[in-house]
Structure 1
Amino acid sequence: MTPLRRRMIEDMQLRGLSERTQETSTRAVRQLAEHDGVSPDQLTEEEVRQSFIVLHTEKRLARASCTIALCAITFFSERTLPRQWAMLDVVRPAKGQKLPVVLRPEEVGKIIGLIRLPPYRVCLSLIASCGRRLLEGVRLQVPQIDRGRMQLHIQAGKGKKDRSVPLPPRLLPLLRRHWCPHRNPVWLVPSPGRRGEERATATGPMEERSLQKAFRLAVAEAGIHTSASVHTVRHAWATHLLENGVNLHLIQVWLGHSSPTTTTISTHLTRTAEQQADAALEAFTAGLS
């Protein structure tokens, strides 16, 4: 590891940024530097500008990916070097609002049923039943399962926020059956190791990329022609709760959102809710000629 990379990581640690943010930020700075073939601290403002033009026009990266790269190079320039680049305000992509893909409950069940390996099936069942994020599902630790209160405790989630979500009674026996064969004291879904025989002593969880790959294969096999991801299952959970009368603020707390606006976007209504609205509008306008 170069001294410059180590310093940037230390700066992010001092700022309290998560390990995942540290990883994506250092990768983004490295890729920008590799584009110009120089050390990151030797980049000029014009070279950074041209790199972002390539991201926008040639690679056509999504807004979220461009924003990650922008935040990374901004942190690096202002905190690690330090250096002020006025052009960073210009390259910030415009905000948009893209409604999330929402799967019906029966589609989620079909996808889970098509996942053959038990660790992936159990982990996706956990995400689907409790509305957890991908990493929150993969990295669930056994002590976070509160059988007495029937809750899952999420510690230091996104934004370093703790929260609790209800644990459906039907899910607990599934988790127990999966855990009993390996009895890892920390991880519910431990890393299988190279031979798949080291789960009991594994010191880390299963890789999230493995679950994402298994999910994509199951979606294709199910014949679902949408750009669904594991995170889509979380949207389906929230939307299903909203359609069945659960208070929006309570869903916001369970999702771990700071703003109700984020929750509203996540709970994009399906056809069930639209049909309910159609019926209400029809009743409201019944007296019109």
Structure 2
Amino acid sequence: MLKTNPSPGVHPMTDVTVTVSPLRRRMIDDMSLRNLSPATQRSYLHAVTKFSRYFGRSPDRLGLEDVRAFQVYLVSQGISWGSLNQIVCALRFFYGVTLDRAEIPERIVYARTPRKLPTILSADEVVRFLEAVPSLKARAALTTAYAAGLRASEAASLKVTDIDSDRMVIQVHHGKGAKDRTVMLSTQLLGILRTYWRLAH
């Protein structure tokens, strides 16, 4: 509902004069002052209106327990985690900014998106993928990254001197966190790198 005493105004998303409550007007102004996009403004207004209609009361008369009950209801309706978190953002903005109730937003919890296991390629699929790479240099870099567990930037910055065939290790410089580290060099990867070096030179 998002309304108290209605007053006329111009809706920010259209040129049509509509009845806008002081509370809705204040939220619109708060969002405009913070340069939120029109799409975000529409999303926030829709979320707070939906929250208000669920209880049949003005949202400024609802509290943290009402927010929690509304979240439980949305989850029971099978709402996606992304949509639920969008509503959480709207309610946190409404309470924290428009109502200036700073103690509430941090207690409105976000939904934790379920973590999915990545798709793992089989050994045959990896071989077929690498064989399909037309560039010899790119194939060698991808093979090295896969076999040694390197990031793309780490594989791209490797030098010949980083390959230590005596100790069978690869020296990685300025990796994650700008730290150096050492990774194992397999006999098979060493053979591939030597073949690449011979063919490229």
TM-score (norm 1): 0.35
Select the structure of larger CA radius of gyration: 2
* Higher RCO (Cα < 8 Å, 6 or more apart): 1
TM-score (norm 2): 0.49
